[in-house]
Amino acid sequence: MIEWLSTALLLAGAFFFFIGTVGLLRFPDVYSRLHALAKADNLGLGCIVFGLALQADSTAAALKLLLIWPLVMAASAGIGFAIARRADKLGIKPWRKERP
């Protein structure tokens, strides 16, 4: 049963990474691309970390894996903010749909 749950979490994580990549390629500006990547990658990494923690040999290894997720989430938020701030300082405007 744990193997099935672990496999499902790993596949869900891979799916969220794939969706984040699609968002990166399809969205029109840097701000919406950052949003897609941050949300999908954090959720994808969470699923993968939980799936791997279920297969860990020891509790210590599982806790180390689970510690990775909040650290990456904090780093992702900081890096996303830095990229968006730099884009704003360079004068890159958010995309707006043209109204006829």
- What's the average pLDDT block by block, 10 residues per block, for the chain (100 residues)? 94 94 90 87 93 93 92 90 93 80
**pLDDT for res 13:** 96
Q: What is the pTM of this model?
A: 0.81
Contact 72, 7 (CB under 8 A): no
